[in-house]
Amino acid sequence: MFICKTPLRISFFGGGTDFPEYFQEHGGAVLGTAIDKYIYHSVTRFPSELFDYSVRLAYRKVECVTSVAEIEHTPFREILKTFGIEKDVEISLSADLPSFSGLGSSSSFTVGLINALNAFQGKFISTPELAHLAIHMEREVLKEAVGCQDQIFAAYGGLNLVEFKSTDNIVVSRIPLTKTRLQDLDDSLLMYFTGITRNAANLEKQKLENLSKIQDNLKRIHKLVEKAHNVLLGNGPLSDFGRLLDVTWREKRSLVSGVSNPKIDHMYQLSMEAGALGGKLLGAGGGGFLLFYVPKERQPAVQKALANFYEIPFSINAPGSHIIHSSA
């Protein structure tokens, strides 16, 4: 049995500039972090000759099939095909948080499954290879409307500046914060579930279809990455990081209709009135999780204002996808 643990992620700045359709011409960058909420893949070998099925998958439902081609779950099916695995395998999936919620879970699933299957086949895959194979799988094989940041954070982990120069030239740089400053940033972040899960594909397709119309927004979003990076590395107050989150959220809201909605706007207004300095909806939009930057002394007021919503405790700078158990 092999068990792989793969983090979810928070994208602070630069979302949208990580699509090749944009960064191949203009360049792109994202500042974000892996968080200590994970997806787990368990892969076990079994003798299918003793059963009436050859492959067993357990996720929201259970699939027991005699042929990989029969698998309903498209990513499972296509990734198993890529690895040439046709029988004698059982894979179970579990997660700390729901999917379709803006934390990059689809890419964490892909990265984690690729990593687990490499271990299952006795192969080693480097972190860059893992990230790039996941990008290829999602964009070229599964034909999903995704960018290239989620796979990076799932594979590498950490708090990073990721620069997209071309599809073959993605530069991942750890942000070297002192332990104290990193803890201060961690302690200043609150995350709440909006209660809405959604498939981001339609919103991302709208953005790509309207790319020429939103280029100016994306350029401003790109510039905010450098400003936020400078705040983190400087000696000034981290509160400036929170205020920049408010700026990037306003830019993000204007990309396409559907990024926000009255419920999300209401939650955001409640938090700001109670003392948050800024925040943003995570992921493409329409639902999922709201992130807020709130100085510690103001957090009780914000938590009271959002008492009707579910707060998710978390920490930043989590490790990337890795095998946590292996046995013959």
Over the chain (328 residues), the average pLDDT of each successive run of 10 is 97 94 94 98 95 96 96 97 96 92 92 98 96 97 93 98 94 96 98 80 73 86 96 94 96 82 93 97 85 98 97 97 91
Phi, psi at 22, each rounded to 5° = -100, -55
Q: Domain boundaries in the chain?
A: 2-176+317-326, 179-311
**Residue 199: per-residue pLDDT:** 61
Distance CA 151, CA 147 (A): 9
The architecture in CATH of the region 179-311 reads 2-Layer Sandwich (3.30)
Q: Which residue has 């081609």 as its token pair?
A: 69
Write down the pTM of the prediction: 0.94
Does the domain at 2-176+317-326 match CATH 1.10.10.10? Answer given as no
Using an 8 Å Cβ cutoff, are 182 and 317 in contact? yes
Residue of 153, 154, 200, 206 lying closest to 21 (CA atoms) = 206
**Residue 98: per-residue pLDDT:** 87
Using an 8 Å Cβ cutoff, are 38 and 5 in contact? yes
Distance CA 257, CA 234 (A): 36
Distance CA 251, CA 315 (A): 26
